[in-house]
Amino acid sequence: MTANTATERRRVTTLLAAAAIGVYLLIVVGATTALTEATQACSTWPLCGTDLSDPRVLIAWGHRLAALVVGVVVLAALVTTWRSSTSRRAKAVLLVPFVLYPVQIGLGALAATTSADWLSTLHLLSGMAIFVGLVLALAWTLELGTDDTAPVTDPDPLTAEPTDTGETPSLQPSSRPSGPLARAKRIGAAYFRLMKPRLMWLLCLVAAAGMALAAGPSLDAGIVVRVLGGGVLAIGASGTFNHVLERKKDRKMQRTNDRPIATDQVGVTNALAFGVLLAAASLALFLSVNLLAAALGLCAILFYSVIYTLVLKPNTVQNTVLGGAAGALPALIGWVGVTGTIGVPGLALAGVIFLWTPAHFYNLALAYKDDYARGGFPMLPVVRGERVTRRHIVWYLAATLLGASVLAAVTSLGWLYAGATVAFGALFLWTVVRLHRERSEQAAFRAFHASNAYLGALLFAIVIDAILL
Ligand code: HEM
Ligand SMILES: CC(C)=CCC/C(C)=C/CC/C(C)=C/COP(=O)(O)OP(=O)(O)O
């Protein structure tokens, strides 16, 4: 690839990413109730109410002006891409935004003047189609000229300096402090590590968001404590079973070969007893909330420990996609903990987590590709290569963003949620664009952390928005 081509592709992908995020902003704002209410106060087109002290009029004006500015960015992206040397399919798919953007303006005008629900739905769907067209063109342009080998500057993950992997290297026996207290501390730390504590904050936020969506400002503190307590214990139990079942493979992988069972710091029988104890305590807490929450808690533990760990992870390249169901269940548990039944917003939140999981984990799968190959796991980069994996990260990230807009449409979440998904979604997308450009381990970790920041911010915004705003 010549320097000119590289510069041209940078320009094209930057513009396509900006256009996609601009369209996403319009989709999310359109999906929130704020705009639905604004439409009622602003029902003429193209101009409406002059009373700018009415926030609803301001929102309607903001949406129309944003549509104009984003339209210019989309047009610039289309023209620049068509004039570039990108692939035919990337150019062809841009016909979708080219045709639909003017249609979308017409639909918006009709939706504003008639307030028909089906028109608003069609407007939202057409916005999503424009977004998908831009993202496809972005992904197909990003992968041009990228082969499956990491650049020479990229250190081998197995020989590189230790990175922030969430693992604490164990001390060598000779350097370990002795004495009963130090020994008790070491054993306590080993059992604590079995519980996979680093996953807990985000999974607890997932359950908290489920509860906040269901209860709004009247969220009961007793339910919160019991659901989160049950959740922490359930994650601890399934994490422990996962350590037991993977101990042999863990020994083969550099990232995991210092784990407590792999290094015999904790025996298998003791670990199993610990896991059963945690699971029983977790189910007891969930049962004190309601039976359905306990049933879902049991499903989550069994799904992660048995279905994911034993069946999916070692046998199918779709392990991450299907495994996302384990992480999605806490959203439903939170919702069910409050309502006692399964409901659409809880399912929509679970859907967001499910779609986010591959966009989250494939970054680590890239960074640890050789390690996973050594362990014998058919992770996507091992089986289908790095280029396909990077492409799938873009797909799942786009699907997550669309899922988040569906969540906005089926709930009454407002501006804080909309701002969080757009701002952190843009940040996440930018790190993924850089991952394609740099193709290094550092870039993969950056995108991994951005995935956690995106979901953390989104969930935090849901909790605040649903409870306080
Ligand atoms: C198939 C599903 C998933 C896989 C394979 C996966 C895999 C991983 C791996 C290998 C790590 C590295 C840290 C470690 O070794 O402990 C990690 C970290 C993490 N994951 Fe996931 N994950 C999945 C789903 C989820 C879900 C659903 C959540 C929460 C909603 C989540 C949240 C986190 C967090 C918070 C970290 C720690 C980040 C840090 O502080 O370093 N993961 N994940
Ligand atoms: C309420 C409840 C029980 C929820 C369970 C949800 C849960 C623990 C999701 C974790 C997702 C996951 C598979 C993480 C680690 O992957 P991995 O085990 O493949 O990572 P590893 O390679 O580090 O072992």
Ligand 2 touching residue 327 (CB < 6 A): yes
pLDDT computed for residue 51 by the predictor: 73
Please compute, for residue 265, the number of CA atoms within 13 A of its CA located in the half-sphere on the CB side.
Answer: 25
Closest atom of ligand 2 relative to the 234 alpha carbon: 3
**Cis peptide upstream of residue 46 (ω within 30 degrees of 0):** yes
CA of 327 to the centre of ligand 1 (A): 9
For the record, the structure tokens of 413 come out as: 């979440």
Query: How do the pLDDT tens digits run along the chain, 469 residues long?
Result: 677 788 999 999 999 999 999 999 999 988 886 666 666 677 777 777 677 777 777 777 888 889 999 999 999 999 999 999 999 999 999 999 999 999 999 888 887 777 677 888 898 999 999 999 999 999 999 999 787 654 433 434 433 333 333 343 444 444 566 788 899 999 999 999 999 999 999 999 999 999 999 999 999 999 999 999 999 999 999 999 999 999 999 999 999 999 999 999 999 999 999 999 999 999 999 999 999 999 999 999 999 999 999 999 999 999 999 999 999 999 999 999 999 999 999 999 999 999 999 999 999 999 999 999 999 999 999 999 999 999 999 999 999 999 999 999 999 998 899 999 999 999 999 999 999 999 999 999 999 999 999 999 999 999 999 999 8
Tokens representing residue 158 in the block: 């197995």
Describe the crossing of helices 221-245 and 291-302 by its angle, rounded to 10 degrees: 20
Q: How many residues does the chain have?
A: 469
Spatial neighbors of 77 by CB under 8 A, at least 6 apart, are 12, 15, 16, 18, 19, 94, 134
ipTM (interface predicted TM): 0.93
In which region does residue 179 sit, left (phi positive, over 0), alpha (psi from -120 to 50) or beta (all else)? left
pLDDT confidence of residue 146: 82
The Cβ-side half-sphere exposure at 34, using a 13 Å CA radius, reads 26
Classify residue 411 by its DSSP letter: S
Rounded Cα distance between 5 and 53, Å, is 50
Please tell me what DSSP assigns to residue 309: I
- Ligand having the closest approach to the CA of 165: 1
Q: At 156, which amino acid appears? A: D
Backbone angles phi, psi at 262, to 5 degrees: -60, -30
199 C-alpha to ligand 1 centroid (Å): 6
Pocket of ligand 1 (CB under 6 A): 165-166, 196, 198-199, 202-203, 206, 320, 323-324, 327, 353, 357, 360-361, 364, 452
Environment class of 182 (CB within 10 Å of its CB; exposed 0-12, middle 13-18, buried 19+): exposed
Q: Which of ligand 2's atoms lies nearest the C-alpha of 301?
A: 3
Asked if 438 contacts 363 with a C-beta cutoff of 8 angstroms, the reply is: no
Question: What is the rounded CA–CA span in Å between residue 244 and residue 222?
Answer: 33
Q: Which of 206, 228, 238, 261 to mutate to test the pocket of ligand 2 (most atoms within 8 A of CB)?
A: 238
- In this structure, what DSSP letter does residue 116 have? -
Helix axes 55-83, 33-41, angle to 10 degrees: 110
Tell me which residue of 169, 202, 157, 196 sits closest to 443, measured CA to CA: 157
User: Following DSSP, what letter does each residue of 24-47 receive, concatenated?
Assistant: HHHHHHHHSHHHHHHHHH--SSSS
Asked if residue 231 has its Cβ within 6 Å of ligand 2, the reply is yes
Residue of 284, 308, 302 whose CA lies nearest to 294: 284
The two three-digit tokens of residue 429, written as one number: 């997308």
Longest CA pairwise span in the chain (Å): 79
Alpha carbon distance 351, 332 (integer Å):
10
Q: Give the up-direction half-sphere exposure of residue 249: CA atoms within 13 A in the CB hemisphere.
A: 17
Structure tokens at 335: 């919702």
Give the residue from 278, 276, 298 showing the smallest Cα distance to 287.
Answer: 298
Question: What is the distance between the alpha carbons of residues 429 and 442, in angstroms, rounded to a whole number?
Answer: 16
CA 281/CA 275 separation, integer angstroms? 10
Closest CA to 334 of 203, 155, 191: 203
Neighbours of 177 (CB within 10 A): 10
State in Å: Cα 203 to ligand 2 middle: 10
Contact 90, 81 (CB under 8 A): yes
